[in-house]
Homo-oligomer: A and B are copies of this chain.
Amino acid sequence: MAYLPSHELVDGVLSGDARSIARMLTRAENGADEARAALDRLYARAGRAHVVGVTGVPGSGKSTLVAKLAAAIRRSGRTVAIVAVDPSSPYSGGAILGDRIRMADLAGDPGVWVRSMATRGALGGLARGTLESVDVLDAAGYDIVIIETVGVGQDEVDVARAAHTTVVVSAPGLGDDIQAIKAGILEIADVHVVSKCDRPEANRTIADLKSMLAMGLALDGPGERRGVAVVATSAATGEGVDELLVEIDAHRDRLVASGALAQRRSAIAERRLLKAAEDILRDRFERRRGAGVAALLARLDARSISPHAAALDLLRGLDWSAPE
C-alpha cells in the first residue's frame, strides 16, 4: 500500500479503522516529526477512555492477568486496548494479537487491540510514544486502555501518573527484598492484585499486603487510602478476574463521584507537559550535538566547567523561538 501522510490517517483512526490505527501507532512510537500534527489532533479527540495501569515485578504473572482481564472487559460489553511496555512480554513485536491473547479466545475480536512497545535500552521503562499511543487508542474509541509495564523503579511511578486507575500485581513468595519495595508501591496502587492465589503462600502475601495497607491508613489518616482493595487472582482457574474488573470500575466510580477524577486528569496533564518539554529538550540537544555541544563536552571532560553550569550555557544558547 502507498504511504499515507499522517494527517490522512486521522479520520481512519477516529472511525476505528484497524489499518489506520496500526500505522498511527507505529508513527507515535517512532516519534516521527511528520506525525506530530496528527497526534496533536488525536490528543484533542481523546479523553473518553478509562486508562488503567497494570504494573508489577517480573514473575508476578501480570501479562497473563492482563489477557484474562481483557476477556472480562469484553464479557462486560466494552472494548479494550492494551499497550504493553514490557521486555519480558510474550507479545511479538508489533503484532496485533499475541499468542496469549489467542489462547484466551480473543483472536480476531475487533473489540481488543494489543500493542507491544519497544522499550528504551531493552530494559523496560515507559517507552517514548507510550502516552501518544494511549491517545491514539483512546481517540479510536476503545473504552478501556490498559498500559502494562514491568519493573520496580521510576517507570512504575511514571505509569501510575499516566493512568486513572493503577493496579499493582504481586505474586506470593517472591522474597523479602520485593516485600520491602512493596512499601513504596502502596503509594501508587489503587487496586492490589495477588496473582497465583492457588499457591499455598498466597494467603500470607494477602495478609501482608492488607496489614501494610492498614499501617498506611494509620499513617495517612483515614479516608486517604480508603477503598484500596486486595484482589486474589489465579490465571490457572480464572478466579478473581471478574472481581478485579469490578474493583477497577468501582475505583473509577469513586473518582467520578468525589471529583477526584478531575484532579487526576489535571495531574496527568501537568506530568505530560513536563515530559513533553523534556522530550523537546532532548531532541534539540541531539540536533546540536555537532555544534556547540562538543565544545561544552570537552570542557566538562576537562572538568573546567560543571554539568550544571554547562547545562545553563546550553539552555541559554538554544533558540527556543525557532521552529523545530
What residues make up the interface of A, taking CB atoms closer than 8 Å to B? 36, 39-40, 43-47, 57-60, 87-88, 119-125, 131, 150-157, 174-178, 180-181, 183-185, 187-188, 265-266, 269-270, 272-282, 285, 293, 296-297, 300-301, 303-304, 306-312, 314-316, 318, 320-321, 324
Contacts and interface: CB of A to CB of B under 8 A. Distances in A.
Contact of A181 (B40, B58, B156, B177): B58
A118 B235 CA distance: 36
B269 A301 contact: yes
A280 B274 CA distance: 12
Contact of A297 (B125, B174, B266, B311): B266
5 contacts: A87-B180, A152-B153, A153-B153, A265-B301, A276-B307
B152 A154 contact: no
Contact of A307 (B154, B183, B275): B275
A168 to B, nearest CB: 11
Q: Count copies of this chain in the complex.
A: 2
A88 B311 contact: no
A59 to B, nearest CB: 4
B188 A123 contact: yes
A181 to B, nearest CB: 5
A308 B36 contact: yes
Given A58-B178, A315-B320, A157 B274 contact: no
Contacts of A174: 58-59
A55 to B, nearest CB: 10
A293 B15 CA distance: 34
Nearest to A56: B177
Nearest to A262: B301
Contact of A281 (B88, B270, B277): B277
Nearest to A150: B152
Contact of A177 (B47, B58, B282): B58
Contacts of A296: 273
